[in-house]
């Protein structure tokens, strides 16, 4: 794991310290990691929503068995990538 140093103004540092003092987080690093994961999830959900809206506005086509195989392969690859990233 690599480290990263950040600078925070006093009010933000106090806020982070307050989050840690609740006992939900054991350190500032744990708190920041959770914030980053939540941001990653939010961005993925935004991308999914954009793709779904794009699909809804496009012309209808029939999915072939090859299409389903490709979709499944791509989904499994993304799941594996997330597992190895952690």
Q: What is the pLDDT of residues 37-49, one digit of tens each?
A: 999 999 999 999 9
What confidence tier does 60 reach under pLDDT thresholds 50, 70, 90?
confident
Tokens of 59: 């012309």
pTM of the shown model: 0.64
Tokens of 45: 């959900």
Tokens of 3: 């480290």
Tokens of 16: 């982070």
- What are the residues whose beta carbons fall under 8 Å from the beta carbon of 26, sequence distance 6 or more? 20
Q: How far apart are CA 7 and CA 50, in angstroms?
A: 34
């Amino acid at each position: 794991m690599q480290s990263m140093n950040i600078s925070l103004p006093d009010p933000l540092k106090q806020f982070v310290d307050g989050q840690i003092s609740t006992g939900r987080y054991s350190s500032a690093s744990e708190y920041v990691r959770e914030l980053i994961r939540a941001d990653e999830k939010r961005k993925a959900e935004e991308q999914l929503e954009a793709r779904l809206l794009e699909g809804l506005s496009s012309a209808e086509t029939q999915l072939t068995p090859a299409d389903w195989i490709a979709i499944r392969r791509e989904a499994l690859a993304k799941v594996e990538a997330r597992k190895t990233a952690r």
